[in-house]
Structure 1
Amino acid sequence: MLRFRQKPLPLEAEKFLIEFGAGKTKNTGNLYRAALHHFYRFLSQSKMDLAHLRIQNINEFDEDLARHNLKFVTRRANIQQVHKYLRWLESKQVLRDGFSKDLFPNYQPQFIKGNQAKLPELAERFLEVMSVTRKLNTVKGHRSGLRTFYKRHWQTGRPAYKIEREDIDQFLIDLKTNGVDHNQRAARIANLRLYLDWLYDHRALKIHPDDLIRKTDFPRRDKLLPKPFPVEVDLEIQKRLQQSSDIDHLGILLMRRCGLRVGEMRDLSVDCVGEDLSGNWFLKVPLGKLHNERIIPLDPVTVDLIHKIKNIRANFPEPGTNTHYLISNPFGKRRSRTHFAAVLQDITKDLAIPGKVNLHRLRHSFATSLLTAGMSLSAIKDLLGHNDIRMTLNYAAITQEKLRNEYFAALSKIQEQYNVTSYRVKKPDLVEGMNQSFYEAQRYIKKYVDEIGNTDPDKLRRLLGRLMTLRQEFSDLLKLKIQS
């Protein structure tokens, strides 16, 4: 833990803590105070003025905390708390407008819970009914989409259920403006349509949903291929994770070695590993995204990894339950998906990786490495828990090494089967060609005479004799020409 002699905080920081601490627990206030002490210590040691901070200085602050052995989750919380403090200074006009945005360009205030729109009563009822048959994450996705819709709708001043076509138009524009990709936009529109159908069925919506959301509103879905990490990057990530004793790092390594989704890794119970009568170890993956359980065989290295996790995990159930999860924080509570995503970002921050870094690419690397090694698609389908072989076929499309080997093997067979013999082109002989022409002329003359008849034989013989004499003279001339 970072130890230092606490110096008094600036007056602005004390005002922030007083204003922010109203209604908060004492422990929360202490965490913010500690974060600000770390921040001002860093500014002092770096001889840096607050007003001249740049985005690279935030990264340097994170590295400074890491050098003092603060864990990633603590460093992340410190930076978030400093960010909130900088936004407060900006609101008090101590810092210029846009200052915090320059330091944290990826911050999206519309996704902060306090900034999201409150949902009307029937929308909450709709989500409650949906939760009976849908998974919690599905319901959360619908809630997020409805909040986005109603945040704009409330600005019109109309009642919650008086929805018109112009509201849908604005919703579509907002999705596009916020950079939501085609597939996500299509899903958000479909979710909103489901809500409108429900309102119409319950006589809360007067306009038919077909008149509000049309088929042409749905963008064409992008068919994306899996994006595994490059082999050298994949190996480096695994190496870094293996060298760590942090339970979050080991959980991500378990994802990679077993091809798990992040939700499946979070849901693993402490007794997820079993042994059959033959002494073979296996991992029982709980119900996940596609509502199916599956068994994954474990190699000795992965078995040792799970034992290592069990030795360092907290021996507490998740608060409010009796379930002991394999991967949890020191109090037995599971980490969030965004937490694990941020941990992977931290592990790979100094690696040159094409494309976005996300946890699901580890699963893609797992599948493509097995396919490249020669495992059948049907076996990989079972390991990944796919319901349809067409989902697994996507990996075959991007397994370049296997494709390349099969392509060149096919070319080799074609070359053996259709071996084209190379013939030497003979240079034409002018003398031989000329002689052949005279002989052909002599043959046609004789044929013509035979057909018409009544020709003087002596005259024909003299004509053919002159033709042969001419042939000989041409032949002698060409030979001299070639020799010269």
Structure 2
Amino acid sequence: MNNDHWISTFLEAKVAELGAAKNTQMAYARDLNSFSHWATTKAINFETIKRVNIEDYLVDCDTEGLATSTRARRLSAIKQLYRFAFEEGWLTEDPSIRIKGPKQPKRLPKTLEVVEVDRLLSAARTTGRTEADRLRNNCLMELLYATGMRVTELVGLPVSSARGNPQMLLVIGKGSKERMVPLSPPARMALAIWLESRDAAESKDQAKGDPPSKYLFPSRSKSGHLTRNRFYMLIKELAVSGGVEPSKVSPHTLRHAFATHLLANGADLRAIQTLLGHADVATTEIYTHVLDERLRELVFEKHPLSNKRV
């Protein structure tokens, strides 16, 4: 088999076994195609590659100035490819098994103070060209902060999940895994108001012959719903309107704020893991470090003796 066949078969297996999302498939494809192109320039193929070849590739990636995270991700893709090939019997040994990835410095996720989130929520209620835009923006932000959903989960919500004034939403996460997330009273109210506006607008569109949308936040995009990129730009607009530093704000920082604020108010780490849809609690534990760091900063900034010589 040539390299392309290896990659396509591996990706098909990822989809079949793990339900890998389209973005995940594309990321694997990019990284493995890069490795394949490098191997081709060296006149070697995946079947004959040795450990030293993979290490040479990683050195070349470092020489190119690729970030540590990028190199680690590419090695992860290569390791998964060769593990798959070994399990399928294509190889008698895995040449990548003993290769260690580059050490990555621990970076704490950016988060927001409660007052900054309040400003964003207030801005969402008043930002938008039309009343419908403002109602949609308010609903998006209330849902995001109330549930900690990933942006792809939020913009792709089916409208059926919002019917009946629900107290919880069913969310389809990574790997098509389902989880339930509770809604706060403000989020439920924003959802009910937006749904009324959305349905009224859709009724008018259907009278013109347009088909109904299955999404809670429909749009004329190819996907049929509000896109991740549009929501990213929207949240930056809300930051400017709300007087919050735009560089601090992204859909993911709202997810981090959701988790950090819950933890600061005594929520159980396992409960936060479930709400965020993390497969491993170790991923959720990063928020304990965020909280510890914020507490240290608070002492250094607010303690009366922090700026005095001892």
TM-score by length of 1: 0.47
Within 5 Å, give how 1:309-320 maps onto structure 2: 309-310=194-195, 311-312=197-198, 315=202
Is 1:367 aligned to residue 250 of structure 2?
no
2:305 aligned partner: none
1:124 aligned partner: 8
Secondary structure of the equivalent of 1:215? coil
Q: Deviations over 1:152-178 (max 9, x none)?
A: 333335556543556424531454335
Secondary structure of the equivalent of 1:399? helix
Q: Deviations over 1:431-460 (max 9, x none)?
A: xxxxxxxxxxxxxxxxxxxxxxxxxxxxxx
1:145 aligned partner: 31
Identify the match of residue 133 of structure 1 among 9, 14, 17.
17
2:302 aligned partner: none
Higher relative contact order (CA 8 A, sep 6+): 2
Residue 327 of structure 1 aligns with an amino acid whose one-letter code is F
- Indicate conservation of the 8 Å contact 2:120/2:244, yes or no: no
1:234 aligned partner: 117
Q: CA deviation at 1:127?
A: 1.3
The verdict on how the C-alpha distance between 1:369 and 1:120 changes in structure 2, with shifts beyond 3 A counting, is same
- Indicate conservation of the 8 Å contact 2:161/2:169, yes or no: yes
Identify the match of residue 295 of structure 1 among 140, 161, 180.
180
- The count of aligned residue pairs is 277
Identify the match of residue 262 of structure 1 among 135, 148, 151.
151
Is 1:330 aligned to residue 214 of structure 2?
no
- Indicate conservation of the 8 Å contact 1:264/1:285, yes or no: no
Is 1:192 aligned to residue 84 of structure 2?
no
Secondary structure of the equivalent of 1:295? strand
- Indicate conservation of the 8 Å contact 2:68/2:104, yes or no: no
Q: CA deviation at 1:181?
A: 3.4
- Alignment partners' CA distance in 1, 2:268 and 2:191: 27
The verdict on how the C-alpha distance between 1:295 and 1:130 changes in structure 2, with shifts beyond 3 A counting, is closer
Secondary structure of the equivalent of 1:296? strand
- Alignment partners' CA distance in 2, 1:323 and 1:395: 37
Structure 2 unaligned regions, length at least 5: 300-310
2:234 aligned partner: 343
Structure 1 unaligned regions, length at least 5: 1-117, 408-484
Secondary structure of the equivalent of 2:216? coil
Secondary structure of the equivalent of 2:112? coil
Within 5 Å, give how 1:102-251 maps onto structure 2: 120-134=4-18, 135-136=20-21, 137-158=23-44, 161-165=47-51, 167-173=53-59, 175-176=61-62, 177-182=64-69, 184-200=70-86, 208-210=93-95, 213=96, 215-245=98-128, 246=133, 247=136, 250-251=139-140
Residue 15 of structure 2 aligns with an amino acid whose one-letter code is S
Within 5 Å, give how 1:381-460 maps onto structure 2: 381-386=273-278, 389-399=281-291
- Alignment partners' CA distance in 1, 2:278 and 2:6: 36
Q: CA deviation at 1:322?
A: 9.2
Residue 180 of structure 2 aligns with an amino acid whose one-letter code is I
- Alignment partners' CA distance in 2, 1:358 and 1:153: 37
Residue 231 of structure 2 aligns with an amino acid whose one-letter code is F
- Alignment partners' CA distance in 2, 1:378 and 1:161: 43
Residue 183 of structure 2 aligns with an amino acid whose one-letter code is L
Identity %: 25
The verdict on how the C-alpha distance between 1:236 and 1:173 changes in structure 2, with shifts beyond 3 A counting, is farther
- Alignment partners' CA distance in 1, 2:3 and 2:138: 38
Is 1:282 aligned to residue 174 of structure 2?
no
Is 1:358 aligned to residue 250 of structure 2?
yes
Q: Deviations over 1:86-143 (max 9, x none)?
A: xxxxxxxxxxxxxxxxxxxxxxxxxxxxxxxx97233212212221012224323211
Q: CA deviation at 1:324?
A: 0.6
Q: CA deviation at 1:333?
A: 0.8
- Indicate conservation of the 8 Å contact 1:162/1:205, yes or no: no
1:306 aligned partner: 191
Q: Deviations over 1:381-429 (max 9, x none)?
A: 443344555544433333369958xx9xxxxxxxxxxxxxxxxxxxxxx
Pair member with larger Rg = 1
